[in-house]
Every structure is written in C-alpha cells, then in structure tokens.
Structure 1
C-alpha cells in the first residue's frame, strides 16, 4: 500500500504457475512485463543445502519439537517432492524469454540474468550475486573516547583520550583471544578511527588486514560541525525540535541526514554480505546504529532508537536466523551514545 516495490515470496514451481502470476499482476496492478522480476535460487551443493537447513529451516516453527537431524531428514524429503515437479526458469524458453529474471546458482558460483535493464533490478542482481551461505562473525565497536575537550562535540577529528587509547589496546587483546587466523578490520579514515585500530596495524603476525573507509566517517553535521548539543539547542532550537519528531530524515544544515548516511553505507553492506572471514568494524555511533539495524533486520529508520554503549564490542552471528547478537563491555562505562 503506497510503496514502490512489492515482494511476493512463493515457490512458483512450474512455468504454468509463473505465467498465471504474471497475468494476474499485469491485470490487477496494470504492470508492464518489465516491472515483474523473478529471483530464483538454485543449489545443488549438498554442504550448502545442509548448512541452510540446519541453521535456518530447522529453527523454524515447523520443527520446534524436532531434533536438528530429524528436521534435516524431513526437509530433505520435502525437497525431493518439489524436485519432481519443479521447472526452473530457462533462457530462451518461448514464453519465459520475455520475462525479467535473476538466477543464482550455488551461492554465487553462477549468476544468470535475463532482461535486467533498470537501475533497481541491476542493484538486486548485484546484491544477490554477493550473498554467501556462510558468513564470518561480525564484531562492531565505536572508536575509543576522544580527548576530553572534544568528547561532546559533533563530528570533528580529535585524537583519543587516555581512556580511548586504553580501549584500543583492550579491544586488540579481546579480538586476539577469539583465536581467528585471519580477521578483516575496517575503520573510518579519521584520527580517532585510525588510533583505535593502531594496535592491529602494529601486529606483525599477519592476522589482521586493516582498511580505512571514508564511507564509515561520522555524519556530516554541516554548519554545526564542532558544536555541542547545548550550542545547537541555543542557536537552532527548531532543528532539534524537528529531530525529536523525525531524526532519521532531518538533515543538518549544509550536512547530512541519517537516511543519506545509510545510502552512503550501501557498498559497505554489500561487502559485509560477501565476506566469509571474521570482521571487526570500528565506526562512530550513528554508523554503528545503521549497521546493527541492517544486520538485525530492522527498518532503516529504527536505527535511531538503538543505544550504543561506549567502550563495548557487539558480536553478531549472521549464520543464525534471525541474527544473534551479544554485547561485551571492555572498559568501565563512561556514558552511552544514546
């Protein structure tokens, strides 16, 4: 209702059923054929199938009273029944050659596209091609606290305080203790971000690949850069009033709104989906909120309701459905980024 994109989740096992669906949507919504796109996921790799059943299907409502092996056996039997009647989408088929479709084989091994011409459908195809059945664990943390004189100012490029540097060292030891042979580390390309990951850069074992990202920089506060919240309240009270009503879509004068930052992070999110090694992402609070809301399957605007705990690390297991999350406080709390 009132949206621009609809997602119809169905098996669509036969060509006759797909033709029926196309006819229905064309008639009911007056859609041109180019606006109906099929996304088909095919998998013949037994290890991927087994992993997906055990990690996702076996934890669903159908199997609450079943053991994982019982759920695996039952779902495999159900799959065999589907295979008896299933007709995959086919390039060049007399009817389906007119359709727009994206077909993914074995989690990115092969990606087939037909009549994918719009910007939106190309983005969907690009996203689908990056999906992987196994993801590494994801660690997310805010940089250490900035120097006291800058700690409560918006934006800026201040160095870490003493407690911020202590957090950087503690974070390195904590990640070391996870025992991963390889870990990718991302940080914003600013002073406090780089200083927070300096202990990883200094590591000589070759376990850490550190990459600064401009996309992970804090929100652009425009004319209010370097102000405190009290100064914003005094100089632009109407701005804070609008933010209280709708912070996600309110733009800082000459700067960004959180929804624009979410768009800026789109490429980072695609890279996260493709990554199979463990990752540590160090980012300012508003970026951490966007990352958490994405991985937890929340609506984008719900990210502003998330409270970020300073000097803590969030552990996200995206192999679960829904994703599992834990928080570990590494230093005594000095305040939260509410």
Structure 2
C-alpha cells in the first residue's frame, strides 16, 4: 500500500560490521516477507553508487573525500526516489540497504518518508566479535561486486580500511538521546542484547521478531525427502506408509551422502516429520546427531483425497481436480490444506532455522518445496511445480549475496512424483522450467 499506512523498513546503521551483517539481514528480510506474500523490495544504495564508482577503494568512503560524499549522497537520493515510486505501485515493505551511520542521514531519510506518509523502522546491527567480523569480511570479499576479481587479501584489507572510515562519523542510533522519537530495533553481538523502541503495529512486530531470530554465523541447511515409499510406487498421495525396498536403500545410503557433504566432526541436528517414512529414512544417521520430530513438517494434508491417485481424484472430484490445477498454491483440499496453509504452519520452522546452525531436514515434497522456495527466493505461487526429487540430498548455504546450492545424488532409482499441470499421469519427468 502506498501513502498513509504504508510500511517502510530501513536497515542501518552498522559501522562495526559495516555492510556485512546488514547484507545478510536485508536479503533475509525481503525473502521472508515475499515468502509470506507481502510485497517487499530492496533498494541497495551501493548498486546505485556503483554506476559512478564500480569498485572504489576505501578512500572513497573517507569523510574528508568531498567528491566521494557527493556521489554517495546522489546514490542515496536515487535509491529513495525509486523506493517512493515503488510504493506508488502498491509496494508494502521497502528495504533501504545503506549504512546511514550518521544522525544527519537518518534525519533526512525520516523526513522524506514522513512527507509521504511512510512509517520508518530503523534497524541497527552492531557487533564487536572479531571472529564474526572476519567471517563476514571473508564472505563479502568473495561475493561483493565491489571486490569481484580482486586479490582476497587486498580486498579484506581495503574493507577493514573502509570500516575505519565509517567509524570516524558513526553515531549509534539515539546515542545522544535525541532520536527517541524514531521506531527502531538495535541488535548487539548477534542477539546478546536487543533494544526495541516504539514498535507500534503487527507488521512491525512480526518483522522485529524475525530479525531477532537471525544470526550471521556461517551455517548450512540440508534438505532431503524421505526415501521412496510404497504409496510413491502406486502414485498415491498422503498416507503414512512405509518405505519401498529402494527407499530402504536410500535410508542406508543417506549417512554416506551426509558424511560427504557435512564431514565427520561437524555437529548436525536432524529434523523429521512425525510420519513413518521420514523417521525410517533418518534412522541410520549417526547416533550423535540430535534428532527432533516436528508435526509442522508433516506432508500437506490432502483431506478426503488422502490415499488416492490423481486419476481417482479426477474421477471422484472433477471440479476439485480442475480447481487445483488452476491454482495449486491456493487450492485447499476438502478437509485438508493448501500450499499457502503449509507456508503458514512452517513459519515457526523458518524462525527456528534462522536462529539455529547446521540442520538436516528429512521431510516431504510439498514441505520441502516451500522451504526451498524460501531460501532460494522463489515465488511461492510457483513452488507447487518445483522439482524436488526423491533420493537426493540438497545443501543450501546462505551467503551475503544469495544462497549457494549443491545437490548430492544417491544414484538409487526412484519414481518421479512430479506432476505437470493438467496431467493425470502416474509418474512423469519434470519440465525444464521446474528444475
């Protein structure tokens, strides 16, 4: 919504970690909001600045560099102008990605937004943990456009120099007690201390709760469907059946895939659903892995269609079959769930994932599609058509500028449970756009 009542999410300031943690948080916030179908967009001032200064050295960010200051100001003004235009098209949450480490810059942002009836939530993430700082510098120097193609050590030193330049003018929000009128969230040392000021509505509270659960320590999430089940062989949906013989093979192979991807000594927590086929798939994993069962990870509830094939659903409930084909994301089975319902019940899982470190999730096709879409910033409305094959381990590693994906194939045959739109085929091969 544009105009009065519109919500504006502002990220900054952070001088200790500079752009590192904010880069993670703004990407995560946009991803989370879009996953919930809330129109959200990031306006990265650095991208605008790179039009005039593609790979500047740290001197560009020196407070005594008048030309650098002029270009940085112009970039911020261009980003805010585009942000305001985006609100007029129906945007709900805009994320202005910039340090805004001075009181003067924050006042300018606040005043401009107030003129357009836009609420501002400032978010400051501050950290003095040197290990975390260096981990983020390593991430940025390998993924940031500012350092692409440069020597890693030289990039790291330049980035440290850039931080030093920001420190010269940095003022933490409300440091002098004269910014109390702002709505803000301050997170110190990855959540060890949190200060919340003037949070007033539901959406702000939801965003704050999400951000409080984030951390920027390196971690990965591994995703796997259960091994092939007896219902998979028959082309039936739902149920609580056991694994097929090939599914049993995958259960025995999974520890090897995990060891190849995770290593022997790295701590890992395993989450499964409460259904037999996921628990059976995870039962051969090392005993020192803590295993938890989540009802929220159970497969999409197909209601009266549970245990039926797609052909049987078409024969018994032709109108429902057509309606689901038309809008698979929003269609709710009679007495069951829709993909949208699954996203809502997965929100606590997402919160727990964001506050945890390395996690392996063994669950079901619809659930993994929703989780995968979240991490990969995919349109949730398209998630029902994504290909998440059986007998495959997927490793997702969130980075500053996106999520890296690696797939490990077990090389154990399994049926395809992917189903094309408008088709009643028992087992199909996915179309290229679903891969």
TM-score, normalization: structure 2?
0.71
- Give deviations 1:290-320, integer Å, cap 9, x for gaps: 1111122223223223201111111122246
SS of 2:243 mapped into structure 1: coil
C-alpha separation in 2, matches of 1:308 and 1:143 = 11
Change (3 A) 1:92 1:252: farther
Is 1:27 paired with 2:115? yes
Aligned ranges 1:166-205 → 2 under 5 Å: 166-177=249-260, 178-200=263-285, 203=286
SS of 1:111 mapped into structure 2: strand
Is 1:129 paired with 2:212? yes
Aligned to 2:350: 269
1:151 shift after superposition = 4.3
Aligned to 2:165: 81
- Give deviations 1:28-68, integer Å, cap 9, x for gaps: 2x24xxx3211111122222122112113432222122021
Is 1:224 paired with 2:309? no
The partner residue of 2:290 within 209, 218, 235 is 209
Aligned to 2:315: 234
Aligned to 1:308: 388
SS of 2:108 mapped into structure 1: helix
1:181 shift after superposition = 4.3
SS of 1:6 mapped into structure 2: strand
Aligned to 2:423: none
1:89 shift after superposition = 0.7
C-alpha separation in 1, matches of 2:379 and 2:188 = 29
C-alpha separation in 1, matches of 2:193 and 2:240 = 44
C-alpha separation in 1, matches of 2:176 and 2:159 = 32
SS of 2:413 mapped into structure 1: coil
TM-score, normalization: structure 1?
0.90
Stretches of structure 1 that go unaligned for 5 or more consecutive residues are: none
SS of 2:382 mapped into structure 1: helix
C-alpha separation in 2, matches of 1:248 and 1:149 = 21
Stretches of structure 2 that go unaligned for 5 or more consecutive residues are: 1-88, 419-435
The root-mean-square deviation of aligned C-alpha atoms, in Å, is 2.1
Aligned to 2:193: 110
Change (3 A) 1:232 1:40: same
Q: Number of paired residues?
A: 328
Change (3 A) 1:91 1:65: closer
Aligned to 1:285: 365
The answer on whether the counterparts of 1:150 and 1:158 sit within 8 Å (CA) in structure 2 is no
The answer on whether the counterparts of 1:58 and 1:72 sit within 8 Å (CA) in structure 2 is no
Aligned to 2:43: none
Aligned ranges 1:1-150 → 2 under 5 Å: 1-28=89-116, 30-31=117-118, 35-90=119-174, 93-94=177-178, 96-147=179-230
The answer on whether the counterparts of 2:230 and 2:241 sit within 8 Å (CA) in structure 1 is yes
C-alpha separation in 1, matches of 2:210 and 2:175 = 21
